[in-house]
Copies of this chain bind each other. A is one copy, B any other.
Amino acid sequence: MLAVDHDERRRRIAEVTVDVIAREGLEAATIRRIAAELGGPTKIITHYFADKQELLVWAYRSLAEQSERYLTEVIARDPTDIVSALMAMTAVDESQTLLWRVYIAFWDRAARDPFFAELQRTQINLALKRIAEIIRARNGEREDVESVSQRLNALVQGISLLALADKERWSPERVRGTLADEVEVVLGRASARV
């Protein structure tokens, strides 16, 4: 029973940390502040995390897992539906926009923190791997799987960045249209070679 409780507490700490970062930025997410949000002494955080860096790493990992779970669900519905999978990676709805805000905060941090830079590269490589798998499921093996994955991932990143700044312009319909168009052009063209 105790183990379950600890998991739940750590999950709740991550949730609150991500929420504070999304609303007020990485600087605001101190151990003192997260403890206050949870209505307890700092010990409820320091019991699990030695310092702010450990807390942030945990929040980042939880964020990444959350994105990964959502993507896995979408892919399970149709392993060849690349447009829906790319949509699942993009800042289109409210909860994805919140996650993306936090990602951008970590992206900024990664510029000056080699540990976060490494975490970030791991995440990018995971995204590329997932995209490549869907391309193979959809179009079979192709020589350009890696370069196409890179390009689609770049578009997902760029649209998300722009959508954070201008939600009205990048409506879910427009995002889907842009991604679908790109997929058709990039994978349509080359599928003739298969």
Contact = CB atoms under 8 A, between A and B. Distances in A.
Contacts of A117: 165
Contact of A112 (B24, B157, B158, B189): B24
Contacts of A158: 153-159, 161
How many chain copies does the complex carry? 2
A147 B180 CA distance: 13
A151 B182 contact: yes
Interface in A68-124: 101, 104-105, 107-112, 117, 120-121, 124
Contact of A150 (B25, B111, B165, B178): B178
Contacts of A164: 107, 110-111
A166 interface: yes
B108 A166 contact: no
B185 A124 contact: no
A162 B162 CA distance: 14
B153 A155 contact: no
A143 to B, nearest CB: 14
Contact of A25 (B22, B108, B182): B108
Contacts of A185: 185-186, 189
Contacts of A150: 162, 169, 178
Given A121-B166, A150-B169, A158-B161, 9 more contacts: A22-B111, A23-B112, A25-B111, A124-B166, A151-B182, A154-B159, A154-B162, A155-B158, A156-B158
18 contacts: A25-B108, A27-B27, A101-B111, A104-B108, A104-B111, A105-B111, A117-B165, A121-B165, A147-B178, A151-B155, A153-B162, A154-B155, A154-B178, A155-B155, A156-B158, A157-B157, A157-B158, A185-B185
